[in-house]
Structure 1
Amino acid sequence: MKNRKHLLRAATATAVVLGVTGLSACGAAKTDSSGSSGTVTIAVPSWVGAEANAAVAKYILENELDTKVKLTQLDESVAFDALNSGKADAILEDWGGAPKKVKLYVDDKKSVVEGGGLGVTGHIGWFVPKYLVDEHPDITDYKNLNKYASLFKTAESGDKGQLLEGSPSYTTNDDALIKNLDLDFKTVYAGSEAAQITQIKESYKAKKPFISYWWTPQWLNSQLDLVEVKLPAFKEGCDADAAKIECGYAETPLQKYLGADFTKGNKEAAQFLKNFNWTNEQQNEVAALIADKKMSSEKAAEQWVKANPDVWKAWLPK
């Protein structure tokens, strides 16, 4: 497996209220991964795009395949442990942030199997608002960031520019990038995806300078005009040593993983999840209903499913 290290998006506060159940490595809800119980447990990373995947999959499994679904919120690394133990059956959006777990469970133990691509391509980078670029056109080159570091100073960043992050619990290359590219910046964590979005929206509305790690797909991108700062180009293997990283982030086709026992015991549900494949735009549509329109994940999924039968019917097992 490719040893890619990507910034995992920060936790969104909506996860808890949208019916996603918490699960720790030692306190997981019991699940019969053989499929005999008819229940499928989907591990959901704590950002709204992943919630959109799980909500749509759950709605179709329950309403079209008569299969009960449990959603459980898990960080990426712990989710692989849950797949291995049978306490979860599927991960629908993996960004490649746990390569050692993939090697252990997929390649070595074979307790987890690849479920194919999600159809969504993820990309992470550093972004600034377009109005700032209009004022300072050369700010989009990382080599010029130090010249503008004072624009981004906050109480939290001290005498350095603030690079806004999401949650400190996720893997990020940004501290290494700042050090290795000799940038006068400091990472400052908002604490969650929702908190980060709030800060970005407030700064954008006031037309204040800000620079933040950000990603696609992201529903908010249709509302704000953000421009990516050009970091050194990603090349395969440039992120192999986390301490020495000097390159930006890759374009990442997001992947699905399934418990091996689950695929044998509940073949119909497993085949559906393997077939589940949609676009960045389709994921954003559901994510925006949840995070922006404040619709429940269940209602958002129902609305999308009813409007797009030509898409999801192709996912059903033959």
Structure 2
Amino acid sequence: MKSTALGVAFACMAGIAGAAEMGAVDEPIKLAVNEWTGQHVSTHIAGEMLKAAGYKVEYVTAGYMNMYQAMADGEIHGAMEIWSSNVSDEYAKQVEAGGVAELGDLGLDAKEGIAYPAHVAEMCPGLPAWEALKDCAQNFATAETLPAGRLVDYPADWGTPGADRMTGLELPFKAVPAGSEGALIAELRASTDKKSPLLITFWQPHWAMSAYDVQFVDLPVGEAACFEDPAWGPNPNAVNDCDFAPTRIFKAGWSGMADKWPAATEILTNYQLSVEDQQPLMGKVDVDGMSVEEVVAAWMAENEATWKPVVDAATN
């Protein structure tokens, strides 16, 4: 959908509720900044929208898996990019307790999975079928993982989804957590440059999907039963013997925000961002070396028709 059309859609959606009270404009709204570039982009666009409405905004570095107690306590007021496939149990606990409230979908079309740069298919005949990994694991082995193959998993504080699938599908791979998103990209870059084997846990939207021709392994469909019933799927003795669950990306905030900053809550609830908008901005940061702030400032200037109707509907 074109940016202008998106703006009109947001305006109509936001306009249903009408303008809201601004609330405590003298106190900063604190938005969580997590560990990956796409989240920085999503968060800074939201923050700039709030600033345009007349609010003060602070960006607070927060661990993705453990920020929900701070949110429930009102120390963090919003998180703009939460992935349903690897959100911690703490999130549901705090929502149930009433300290955290969901703010709706962000709008990104997302997928997570076990992946590899396209050239790796030559080293493991049968890919993208997951069964092929049983016979070629030794091609991915390192001194750290011998005799198993090496899977570069998400950073440790993002959870262990790659390791869970190696166990569930009984694949002879050892999952090694990456240190950061940057470390995952470094692995993809090195593998592509050297034409070396690499199996990695990865996701889209991400600029690296196209830059390194990243392909997903075809795993059994991630149905709910896979994560609850060991008898479901190819391994009758384990859960997680399937692909990631379909991923939903959503926003959440401190439950007291709607009373303290009504218009801001309306803006964040109606704020959406498309893959087509986010992915190039990620590339400008991670590939071109621009700062998140300058990339977002340029996008805001060029896409006023996308975001301004959301702000106007909440404040005018």
TM-score (norm 2): 0.83
- The answer for the alignment partner of 1:297 in structure 2 is 292
Please say if 1:173 is aligned against 2:168.
no
Distance in 2 between residues matched to 1:99 and 1:156, nearest whole Å: 28
Distance in 2 between residues matched to 1:61 and 1:293, nearest whole Å: 27
Change (3 A) 1:88 1:52: same
- Quick check: 1:275–1:316 contact (8 Å CA) kept in 2? no
Distance in 2 between residues matched to 1:278 and 1:176, nearest whole Å: 30
Q: What's the offset of the Cα at 1:173? A: 2.8
- SS, match of residue 31 in structure 2: strand
Please say if 1:126 is aligned against 2:126.
no
Distance in 2 between residues matched to 1:202 and 1:288, nearest whole Å: 17
Change (3 A) 1:290 1:119: same
Unaligned runs of 5+ in 2: 1-22, 231-237
Distance in 2 between residues matched to 1:99 and 1:198, nearest whole Å: 26
- SS, match of residue 191 in structure 1: coil
**Aligned residue identity for 1:311:** T
Q: What's the offset of the Cα at 1:231? A: 1.4
Q: What's the offset of the Cα at 1:304? A: 0.8
Change (3 A) 1:181 1:198: same
Please say if 1:264 is aligned against 2:259.
yes
Please say if 1:75 is aligned against 2:75.
no
- The answer for the alignment partner of 2:302 in structure 1 is 307
State, as a whole percentage, how many aligned pairs show the same letter. Answer: 25
Please say if 1:90 is aligned against 2:78.
yes
Change (3 A) 1:135 1:183: closer
Moved more, 112-121 or 97-106: 97-106
Counterparts of 1:1-318 in structure 2, within 5 Å, are 35=24, 37-62=26-51, 64-96=52-84, 97-98=86-87, 100-107=89-96, 109-134=97-122, 136-240=124-228, 244-318=239-313
Larger radius of gyration: 2
Distance in 2 between residues matched to 1:100 and 1:190, nearest whole Å: 22
Distance in 2 between residues matched to 1:253 and 1:176, nearest whole Å: 20
TM-score (norm 1): 0.83
Q: Which whole-Å deviations, capped at 9, do the CAs of 1:134-186 have from their partners, x for residues lacking one? A: 56551211112121112111122121111112312221233232223221111
- SS, match of residue 241 in structure 2: coil
- SS, match of residue 124 in structure 1: strand
Moved more, 299-308 or 158-167: 158-167
Q: What's the offset of the Cα at 1:192? A: 1.2
Q: What's the offset of the Cα at 1:208? A: 1.1
More helix by share: 2
Distance in 1 between residues matched to 2:89 and 2:24, nearest whole Å: 27
Q: What's the offset of the Cα at 1:72? A: 1.0
Q: What's the offset of the Cα at 1:303? A: 0.8
Unaligned runs of 5+ in 1: 1-33
Distance in 2 between residues matched to 1:126 and 1:214, nearest whole Å: 6
Change (3 A) 1:60 1:180: closer
Distance in 2 between residues matched to 1:57 and 1:135, nearest whole Å: 43
Moved more, 259-268 or 169-178: 169-178
Q: What's the offset of the Cα at 1:98? A: 3.8
